[in-house]
Structure 1
Amino acid sequence: MTSLGEAALGQLAIRLADWRTLRSPMGSVHNRHGRHLRDADVVRHGNALTDLVAVVESFTVARLLNLRPAVSHDQVMRWADRVKMWRQHGGVDLSSYQHWQAFLGFVEVRNALSHGLGRLTDRQLGKFRNEVLGQIAAAGVRLDGDLVLPIPDDVSRCGEIGGDFVRFLDLAAPST
């Protein structure tokens, strides 16, 4: 693996260890009050999941830009763009990763947490509703209507799939 891949795996491991240390033993999703006030454990799980996805995204972009410096950040802003640029400039089909739909599900959960305060956004529920819901189902994250309810197993699974994806991409990509 490259040093970028090893660093990403290290960041994932550190974030998971940090989350496990901070995690309360009484994790419950039933203490919500109000539309945007979330149980502390749900917030903690969501924050960890968000960070894990960010590490994988950062690695995916950095690895391509390191391989092909002519590719600009603007060309890899969205996952659809990253798939296209990796295929075109790195010779890797990201969607061939065995848990691709589950990984994209974690991306959608992160988007709901970051952009919808824990609820699926209008964009997610609009034109791409069925695709988004299918990806979240593939990730195994529970929904209560439009509210995402990450639990400890989801965070662990996100870390496992994220690490597996980093290894897949780093080993499939050209070395230089």
Structure 2
Amino acid sequence: MSLTWAPALERPDLLAEPVRHALEAMASDGADVAAVEVTEIDPDHADTAVLVEATGWDLRDMANCIVISGARAGEERVCAALVLGHTRADVNKAVRKRLDVRKCSFMPMDEAVGRSGMEYGGITPVGVPSGWPVLVDARVVQREHIVIGSGLRRSKLRLPGALAARLPGAEVVEDLALEPPT
């Protein structure tokens, strides 16, 4: 399967509204968003494993964004976590510690979709609500390029891994994700 990449801001029809707004804001702040590309995909391929199988891309170049919530003293604490496709977020240790909560878990899908303004299977750290920290596993920024959601199921973004560290609210965290057992 061959996909055509284009500068993301030249194809706003392939971006969820919060993603488009975030990229425009980053561009106006001087970020090099010309390096952010978008491609249209079959919505049935939105899942990372399915897309890798369909395209032959390296799972290590795919990055997944998950929304995690917890509470402390009745105050909700939410973050987006970005980890490579072959790893899984260390929710019970690394994320819980960063959020400073006793327990945290994946935000229910309907709530994550509603609060992010993005579609299930397309949630991305680009354009999450302000106030949500974007925790980026240190391995993500080491990749030449990563493929992430666009906010829509029918497209994906590709950007330099290092740019993930410069997203609004981003914080690079060592060992945010766990490698699969060998």
Please report the TM-score for the alignment, with normalisation by the length of structure 2. Answer: 0.27
Instruction: With the length of structure 1 as denominator, give the TM-score of the two structures.
Output: 0.28
Higher relative contact order (CA 8 A, sep 6+): 1
Computing the radius of gyration over CA atoms, which structure comes out larger, 1 or 2? Answer: 1
Name the structure where helix makes up a greater proportion of residues. Answer: 1
